[in-house]
Structure 1
């Protein structure tokens, strides 16, 4: 496919002047804010969202069921809304903590050795529960699977994802993998596939690799939404690649998310196993397949193109798409944030989400930036050692 280069959201905003610190901060803060904006409308259609809110969502909104959020189904007992992050951000920050402990590249064994204990043994403030609790008590069943398989089932970490429902659970928190491999999407893709093997299989695992690659590509100087999508297409396999191509091909014809909502859904529908009713999945939903894809990643990339990389337009498009829109906005927010840094994210949104969620949104970025710099030094030393060894093996030519 041929991608048109969309207009940048600001003539004086370029990616070349951004530092690693700014890109990592933009990606992690951008992901958390997107998550919080999408949470209260997750699972609904664009039409239902517009009816409920008297138009499109343009910022932080309250719970769908208002003060009855504790008991109203199907969301209860989670307080989604008012700037609360969801499990997407909880898992992202947990993975950052693993990087902060290991301070090097991760694999499936790092999930077993560090992420699982973090989820099941260390209480933290859970915004949606408005209480301190174990993260394990909040995360979705597909993430609880990690604990079941690795802690109780003693599965091989590299294969533990097999048998889990295939969804976006691994992809939604893989941005840190892309950030420690900033500007090296091939390395991000490979590392994320290894890490995600403990959690997901099939196109769920593939999406994790591609999302990490997208974030790494967005950190590249002179990166654009089109170059990010191009990198994803070069790396993605099977149904994931086909879905990204189909959605992004359609996205290039739109510059406002309102008119793109239905066309993007129609483009991804043949690859989505959940079906037209998000809350009533089809019989074949979330089963392994080489022909299918998760819905969230292709749509996030499509909205990135529709929004021209502008954080606000990209994330609001993702939010108003509905369905699993907190994860869509988490992914698109991470990529747009990596492209343009935190300055592209509305400051009022950042403050509201940080205050409401009782989270320091910048602390994980500081940790990951330090780790990324340390890892680059180690990678450079390892590469030079290999060059020396190979030169000795190869001999003079």
Structure 2
């Protein structure tokens, strides 16, 4: 089904806005358990808050509605694609984006464990494949490069390739290599990129999007085996099927989130937070606000989960499905550094 430029813009802005709102909403609950969220906020959080001091955002004097590293890297990636073009965008182009982001305050202060080490190596002119080397061998520790840093920012790879999930995965792969070059991280990033690419189509359904996330996870495993690094650890496709089964077999949000926390996990590890984000999208049937509301109350790495799940939901339902009052507040807080409407206009021209 053919789509107009306005259709693409609606979906691209939906993804960028909802992903950013998910990040900002989850910034107030990051690191908390579900029980701690309910205790601190007298129930589930359902609005933007000034992040408490015992969250990462709060410890960095984060303000109500401001994004963190997750959405800021997503926006920097989008801006890099606009500057370079999707066909010419490669690992070198992403490295340029990453180093630009690493000098942006306050966002760079949120650097995750993998990105922190990689940015340091890049700035010092050192190869990133020596991080975590075991003794004098060439083997890197299996936990190096397995966090969700690539998946949290990867949505633009799917936005610029509507319906072409394999191409979206190839672009996602290029962004993984400097910092997240493992099968776990690559499969996770490809799952999100593929889901977003399918969500961008006019005839997308929740089922077709979920099928693409599974295909993307398998494709990412293949890319890693052929061109990157395979480490011991969970298969993303398997963890994703487990998470989706939990979503399918629950009909109340709190029970679903508690089972997801208990069986799958919600940490910065890609094999926990990425399947959980996709399962939350499935449970909420792609409704943008319900998806990021659920993500913000899922516990632990809530801002990353909200960014990933929100980008998929926003691409699926479009900007017109977002609550306008909440979006306008978010937009005003973040437009100084990232004007999502401008970014969306320019990025949608690449679709």
Tell me if 1:146 matches 2:133.
no
Deviation at residue 94 of structure 1 after TM alignment: 1.0
Contact 1:311 1:336 in 2 (8 A): yes
Match of 1:102 among 84, 88, 110: 84
CA distance in 2, matches of 1:239, 1:57: 32
Runs of 4+ in structure 1 over 6 Å off: 15-18, 159-163
Alignment match of 1:170 (pick from 144, 150, 172) = 150
> Which of 51, 67, 70 is equivalent to 2:39?
51
Distance in 1, matches of 2:121 and 2:347, equals 27
Find the counterpart in structure 2 of residue 264 from structure 1.
260
Pair 1:183-2:163 in alignment: yes
Hey, what does 1:320 align to over in structure 2? 297
* Distance apart, 1:254 and its partner CA: 2.6
- With structure 1 as the length reference, what TM-score do the two structures score? 0.74
Q: Provide, for residues 237-266 of structure 1, a one-character-per-residue CA deviation record: whole Å limited to 9, x for no partner.
A: 361000100010110123442221112223
CA contact (8 A) 1:36 1:81 kept: no
Counterpart Cα distance in 2 of 1:262 and 1:27: 26
> How far is the alpha carbon of 1:31 from its aligned partner?
0.5
Give the Cα separation in 2 of the matches to 1:31 and 1:74: 18
Give distance in 2, aligned partners of 1:73 and 1:325. Answer: 11
Shift of 1:364: 1.4
**Cα 1:73–1:49 shift into 2, 3 Å:** closer
Contact 2:296 2:302 in 1 (8 A): yes
Equivalent pairs counted in the alignment come to: 322
**What's the CA shift string for 1:195-218, capped at 9, x where partnerless?**
211120321222112111111011
Aligned to 1:40: 28
The unaligned stretches of length 5 or more in structure 1 are 1-14, 130-134, 279-285, 287-292, 374-397
In 2: Cα distance, 1:259 partner to 1:340 partner: 25
The match for 2:222 is none
Contact map agreement 2:193 2:216 (CA 8 A) in 1: no
Larger radius of gyration: 1
Distance in 2 of aligned mates of 1:197 and 1:138: 20
Would the alpha carbon gap of residues 178 and 44 (structure 1) be closer, same or farther in structure 2, given more than 3 Å must change?
same
- Separation of aligned partners in 2, 1:81 and 1:321: 21
Report what 1:383 is aligned to. Answer: none
State how far apart, in whole Å, the 2-side matches of 1:51 and 1:344 are. 30
Equivalences for residues 120-269 of structure 1 within 5 A:
120=102, 124=104, 126=105, 129=106, 135-155=107-127, 164-202=144-182, 203-237=184-218, 239-269=235-265
SS at match of 1:193: helix
CA shift digits 1:30-78 (9 cap, x unpaired)? 10011100001001011110111111111212222xxxx3xx5766532
Are the counterparts in 1 of residues 81 and 347 from structure 2 also a CA contact under 8 Å? yes
User: What SS does the aligned partner of 1:190 have?
Assistant: helix
Shift of 1:118: 1.5
CA spacing shift, 1:294–1:22, aligned 2, 3 Å? same
**SS state at 2:32 partner:** coil
| Higher mean C-alpha displacement, 34-43 vs 349-358 | 349-358
Q: Secondary structure at the match of 2:209?
A: helix
Question: 2:168, 2:197 within 8 Å by CA — same for their partners in 1?
Answer: yes
How far has the Cα of 1:220 moved from its partner? 1.9
Contact 1:160 1:199 in 2 (8 A): no
CA distance in 1, matches of 2:128, 2:282: 39
> Is 2:191–2:215's contact at 8 Å kept on the other side of the alignment?
no
Cα distance, 1:104 vs structure 2: 2.7
Q: 1:16 to 1:265 in 2, by over 3 A?
A: farther
Listed as ranges, the matches of 1:355-366 within 5 Å are: 355-357=332-334, 358=336, 359-366=338-345
SS of the equivalent of 1:79 reads: coil
Find the aligned partners of 1:191 and 1:141 in 2 and give their Cα distance: 23
Query: How has the CA–CA distance of structure 1 residues 109 and 340 changed in structure 2, closer, same or farther, with 3 Å as cutoff?
Result: same
Partner of 1:170: helix, strand, or coil? helix
